[in-house]
Amino acid sequence: MVESARNEFIELMARNFKQNGFDDCTSKIVGALYIEPKEISLETVSDKTGYSLSAVSTAMKLLVSMGIIKRIKKPKSRKVYFFMEKDMVACMLDHMKKNYELSLLMSKEALPKIIERYKSREQEIFGEELMIIEQYYNQVVAFEDVMKNFIEALESLQHKFNKNKS
């Protein structure tokens, strides 16, 4: 009975990640890692998901680079272990902050310079491109406000959950 509920939860997590564009292997890995209370080895992930070590290793590189899972190297061991944070609010907050800092702020800083270079050319051929870039810049600025509010809401939610743990 418990095994059935466990598998159902893993499948639910996998479906959620598939909805966000992840492939079957990566999605199933996330489900399998999320339910594990402790870090597990690459071999164990492969056994639990039914995917080859090579496929699991490739998926793990993506998940680690995205910050979804953590790669852990234990002292005196040649094995690599993986762990997924169980605090989804903290994961989402971390992901949103990284996106905000790496993508949004970079674009917000670079776009005015690009727009000025476009404006310095008086050629009509660039007029439509300039309009597209200016519209994109305006959307970036508007999205920045939404992101700030969303990050603040997640921080508030995280504080609330941390307060309830105490």
Residues with pLDDT less than 50, the chain? none
User: Would you kindly state where each structural domain of the chain is located, as residue ranges?
Assistant: 2-83, 88-165
Q: What is the pTM (predicted TM-score) of this model?
A: 0.70
Helix (H, G, I), strand (E, B) or coil at 80: strand
Count, residues in the chain: 166
Residue 126 structure tokens:
């660039």
Q: Does domain 2-83 bear CATH number 3.40.50.880? A: no
Residue-wise pLDDT tens digits, 96-124 = 888 788 888 899 999 999 998 888 876 66
Q: Which helix (H) or strand (E) holds 85?
A: none
